Structure formats: C-alpha cells, structure tokens
Structure 1
C-alpha cells in the first residue's frame, strides 16, 4: 500500500526516471555516455600531449609511453582521440539543436494554423524528404567550404523534416483538446498557447526523436570527414582519423590507427540509440510498468 501511495504521489519526472531505470541497457549506455562526455570535455586536462604536435616516431605501436600508439607523422593517438570525440559530440549536439528548433517551429505553425500554411510547409517538407538523404548532404558539403561549422549547419538544416512532421501530428491532436480550446476562448495570446500549452505536451516525443537525429548526425560527420568533405586536418575528428585506414598496410599491420576511432563511433551511436529506446519507453503514457 505504501509503495502504491509513493507511485501515486510522484511527479512526472520521477515517473520517467523510475521507468528509465528499469531499462538496464539504457542506464548502462547513459553512464557510458557520461564518462565519454566528461573525458571529451576534460580533454585539455587529461590528454597527455598536444593533439597536433609531433611527439614520437612515425606509426609507433601502442606502448607505455603512447597508450594508443602514434599516427603516420608521430602524433599521439590517445590525445587526438579525446579531441576528436569533442568534435563528434559538438557536431551531434549542435546539429540536433538546429534541426530540432527548425522542425519544432515549422511543425507548430503547420499543425496549429492548418490551411494553406500547413499545405505549404508540408509540401516543402515532402520535397526535402524526397531527395536521397546522403546525396543531399554530399551535394551541400560540396557546395560549401569544408569545415566544422559548415558541417553543423548542413546537417542541422537537412535533418529537420522528421521532427516537423512529428510535431505537426501531435499539434493536430492537441489543438482539439479542451484545455487548448479553453485558452482560445479566454483570449490567451498565441505565444502562450503554442509555447506554454501545446509545446510542453509534445516535448517527450521530440526528445526521443532527437536522440536518433544526434546519432545520425555523428555518423554523417564521420562519413563526410572520412571522404575529406568534413572537418579538415590537422583538426582531429573520428572521421578523418579513419581516413588513414584506406591503406591496406594500415588495415593489416597498423590496427591502432583505425580500431580506436572506429570502435568509438560504434559505441557512441549504439549507446545513444539505447538511451533513446529507454527514453521512449519511459515517456510512453501507455506503459504499464509499475515496480
């Protein structure tokens, strides 16, 4: 009885956290992501060497001095990996923030006002989604000068259609609810209705979808940098660190040059997706998990 009372009195965030904790892979992934993010943020303090400085012999195997060895020109791989993780996380977070902001605004406008504005926004959304995604990214990357902020802006302004459609669908149902109709009758300002009533009730699915966008953005950045169209050397990114793996000699005889960045990309993407799955289950209002 006491346990049931505690569940009844808990807040929404407490309910979400309680459900999230029962997704063991999600919790483990969240812990792992926290450790990786801390290592990336603290890279200037914990990196043993300057990531761009030549500090050892060329292509030296891992040793006590260089834990992950050195690259083809003698730079410390561990230091470069830490700084490369910062770049990947920055691209993922910023691109997701931009695409989420654009998608939320367009979805709110289309879903709430409907009519010709809804048709115009949705037809433009369909047009963007009709292009092959990777081709659209590659063309945009080829047009603009390669670089960190170019990649962030390209990915941010390409990934928004999915979020816009998600928000529009939620707004179409929410605008018919009694509390929204009551605000309209009471003459509440439009900004209050959109951002204080409707938006908070669609934040949960937006957050879940944003995790997949973040993972996709990090993969796209790595792909573009691997092709030489993303973050440019000497700045380290996980993608351009893998660029050296195009050589058969590196693939077969110098695995320390490509296994760490490749493995880290896999870990980051899988962990983010597990957190997204756990978050989806935690915010699902139809969930019946009660422990």
Structure 2
C-alpha cells in the first residue's frame, strides 16, 4: 500500500516517494518555549508523532527533528516581566512541553536542537545569502531581500505586491518594508551573540532553515507544522534555504488548529486549556485520540 500525503505546496494528495529508499527524514517546527503548552500547542507534535510511528510501522528508518525556539521577543518580554533570566523561562517551559509530550505518548525526536545552540550555522547561512545577493546588512541587522528570489510566496500562493506592509518595530534600514529580519541588532539589556555584523540575536525564521540544513542536509523528505506557520514562517524558511542553494523539503504537511467555538485556541483569546490540567480530568490516551483525529 502506498503512503499518500496532502502536500500543501502542490495543493493535492501525492504518493510518498522518499529521497533515500527505506528512509524518511522529517523536520517539524517545535515549541517556542515562552509559556507552558495548552492543547492547541501540543497538537502538532502529537499529529507528527502519529505520522512518524506510521512510517516506522511500514518499515521505514525515520529521522525526526523537532526544534526548540528558546529565544524570541516573547521570551525576552516574559523574562523582564518576571524579573528572571531569559534562559530560565525557556528551560522551565521546555520541560513543561516535554512533560506534555510524554503524558500523551509521543516518542522523543531523533534530534531536538535549540536555536541558541546553532548561532554558528546561522552566521554561515547569512554569509552565504549575502554573498549570493539575497540578503544585506543594515544598522547591525541582516535582512532577506524578498524580491531577489523568484518563486517567493509560492507555498501560500500570495502576491508580494498585495501583502500588507509589516510594522517592523526596531527594523531600520530595510530596502523594502516586506524584507524580513534574519538577524536582529542587539538592544540594551537583551541577550545577544557576536557576528561579523555586530552583536544581536537570531530571527525566528533563520533558525529553522539553518537547523534543518545541519541535521537533514540540503534536501529532505517532509517539513511539518501548523497551518498558521505557512506564512510567514515557512515561506521565509523556503526563501532562505533556496537562496542558500538548498533544495529543502520535498513535501510540506500541515496540521489544523484546535478550535473552540470556531476560533483558534489561544492564550490571548482566553480560550486555552493547559495540557497539564486537561490530563487531570481525562485519561491521556483520550486526549491523544481527540487531538489525533482529523
């Protein structure tokens, strides 16, 4: 029996043909560890655990990479609000995510890289993109030139000229308002790392392109995540990887949201339920079945 996947990039169901016979390579965008996980957060990891198990059951050797975003604006803001180190926020919530994965029976990934552990790979990718004319430095930040890459926005099927211009708080020196930050110049009191363009910290999109390249190579089988990541995150991952010279993912697979009353589960809407609270009221296997059902 052939395994078939709905490929977001092709907008159709496709027969799965692995890059390497008998092997499957999967990269999943994992947690941004700024808070403990609610059941909407955990659905992606659970859905792709089911996929991974099915491939293994069918006899494939699976390499499954799920990253951890342990530095971003929200983590820095939480650290300031709670008067705690930014890394303390990340560690606590990473443990909470792992506890939730364990409770729901998710296998640990083959590799679980943290963004802050891969600054060297990010610098290498930015240097290559600048050399190829796809990126530029401005005021200590590094931006991707979205108009330099034909095919940008093909995953989400959007028109660049019709995109709403982002606010871009603190992002100065852009050639085009739609260009996105791969590296953000250091601000007083915030964590930062040294680069050829000055001290700063990684942008959200850069980390996944760099870590996918490190652990799975220039081309791999499946890239996964929630449908809310299609734009801008996955579009910008593709742009960086393609601009760097990678073939990148051969299939794009996305899971749907967990909703309540037709709205996405979200802390900001006040309609979220923590996994740790949910498993007190229901057996974990029941929650796993509920979240794993299309």
Query: Normalising to structure 1: TM-score of the pair?
Result: 0.24
TM-score (norm 2): 0.24
Q: Give 1 or 2: higher strand fraction.
A: 2
| Greater fraction of residues in helix | 1
Tell which structure's C-alpha radius of gyration is larger. Answer: 1
